[in-house]
Amino acid sequence: MQKTLREYILEADKAGVAIGHFNISNLEALHGIYKAAKKLNLPVIIGLSEGEEKFVGKGEAVALIKELRENEHYPIFLNADHHYSFETVKAALDAGYDSAIIDAVKLPLDENIALTKKCVDYALELSKKTGRDILIEAELGFIGTSSKILDALPEGVSEKTMTTPEDAKHFVEATGIDLLAPSIGNVHGMVRGGNPRLHPERVKAIREATGIPLVLHGGSGTMDQDFLDCIKEGIDIVHINTEIRVAYKEAVEKFLQSHPEEIAPYKILESAVEAVALVVEARLKLFNRMQ
Ligand SMILES: [Zn+2]
C-alpha cells in the first residue's frame, strides 16, 4: 500500500521539512521535476492552475501522474492549484486529482467560507465514495495572483493583508479545510530587486492557532533562510512556479540561439527538462535540509 499525500505531509511536518509543489504546463516540466525528485528520493506534488490545466488537459494530467505513481511506484501527487469555483474544483477531483485549492480570497469572508465549505463537503463525500483521501486547501489573506516577473509588489499586498492567527483559526474551524495557505509576507511571482522577507513568527502563531499543516505559496525568489525558518515553524508544502518558468524559457532561448538549425522538438526541449530539473533539485535539497 502506498502512503497517501496526507501521510507524507504529516511525515514532513514531524521531520521539520517541506514537500515541494511545482507547476507544469507540459510534459517536459513534469519530466524535469520527476527527474530531480527521483534523484533525491523525495515525494513531490505537481500543480496545475486553471490555465495550466486547460492547456495540458485534466484527464491527461491525471493519466501522467497515474503512470508515475502506479507503474513506477513513485510518491507523486496531483493538485488543482488555485481553482476559483466549485465547478472547476469538482471537475478536477472527479477527474482524479489528489487535492484542490479553492481560491475564494477575492470574495467577502462569509461567501469565501461558504464556497470553501462546499468544496470540503464534496471532497469528503467523494473520498467516502471512492476510498481516496482527497485534501482541500484554501488561501487566506491576499498575496497577489500571477506567477511572473513583477516590477513591484502586487497592488493590495501589504503588512495589513497578512493573515492573523485569529482569522485563520475562525476560517479553519468554519470550513474544515485540510491545508491552509496563509499570507505571511509572501507574494506570487518574483519581484525585481528581491521578494519581501517572510514572517516565521507569524507562521508559528497561525500554526498554533489552527493546528493544521500550512502551505507557502509564492516561494519563487524567497531567501533561503526565510524558507528554512518558515518550514521550521509549520510550513509543510512550498509552491514554486515562476522560477521553473524562467528556467524553462531561458534554456529554450539559449538552445535555439546556439542551434538555429535544430527542428526536432525533443532535442530542443531536452534543454528545458534539464533546466527545470536543476531548479527543482536545488529547491528540494533546501526544503529537506540536504545541503
Ligand atoms: Zn499560489
pTM of the complete model: 0.95
Centre of ligand 1 to C-alpha 264, Å, is 34
pLDDT higher for 149 or 129? 129
Centre of ligand 1 to C-alpha 81, Å, is 7
Indicate if the pLDDT at residue 154 is higher than 80: no
- Relative orientation angle of helices 242-258 and 265-287, to the nearest 10 degrees: 140
Residue 158, pLDDT score: 66
Indicate if the pLDDT at residue 233 is higher than 90: yes
Q: How far is CA 95 from CA 80, 137, 225, in A?
A: 11, 18, 38
Residue 135 near residue 123 (C-beta atoms within 8 A)? yes
Neighbours of 69 (CB within 10 A): 16
Residue 16, pLDDT score: 97
How far is 241 from 209, CA to CA, in rounded Å?
28
Q: How far is CA 233 from CA 42, 131, 171, in A?
A: 21, 32, 20
Centre of ligand 1 to C-alpha 82, Å, is 6
Indicate if the pLDDT at residue 151 is higher than 90: no
pLDDT in tens, 110-140: 999 999 999 999 999 999 999 999 999 999 9
On the CB side of 11, CA atoms within 13 Å amount to 10
The C-alpha cell of 201 is what?
Answer: 513568527
pLDDT confidence bin for 161, thresholds 50/70/90: confident
Indicate if the pLDDT at residue 172 is higher than 90: yes
pLDDT confidence bin for 196, thresholds 50/70/90: confident
Neighbours of 199 (CB within 10 A): 22
Name the residue among 41, 46, 39, 43 with its Cα closest to residue 64: 46
Centre of ligand 1 to C-alpha 219, Å, is 9
On the CB side of 277, CA atoms within 13 Å amount to 17
Centre of ligand 1 to C-alpha 176, Å, is 20
pLDDT confidence bin for 155, thresholds 50/70/90: low
Centre of ligand 1 to C-alpha 252, Å, is 25
Indicate if the pLDDT at residue 271 is higher than 70: yes
Active site residue 98: no
How far is 114 from 124, CA to CA, in rounded Å?
15
Indicate if the pLDDT at residue 213 is higher than 70: yes
What average pLDDT does range 196-208 have in this prediction? 94
What average pLDDT does range 52-68 have in this prediction? 98
Torsion of CA 275, 238, 38, 6, to 10 degrees: -160
How far is 6 from 53, CA to CA, in rounded Å?
23
Centre of ligand 1 to C-alpha 188, Å, is 6
Active-site entry in 81, 98, 103, 178: 81
Centre of ligand 1 to C-alpha 144, Å, is 9
Q: How far is CA 187 from CA 31, 50, 244, 278, in A?
A: 27, 19, 16, 23
Centre of ligand 1 to C-alpha 105, Å, is 11
pLDDT confidence bin for 156, thresholds 50/70/90: low
Task: Report the mean per-residue pLDDT for the chain.
Answer: 94
Centre of ligand 1 to C-alpha 80, Å, is 11
What average pLDDT does range 47-67 have in this prediction? 98
The C-alpha cell of 139 is what?
Answer: 488561501
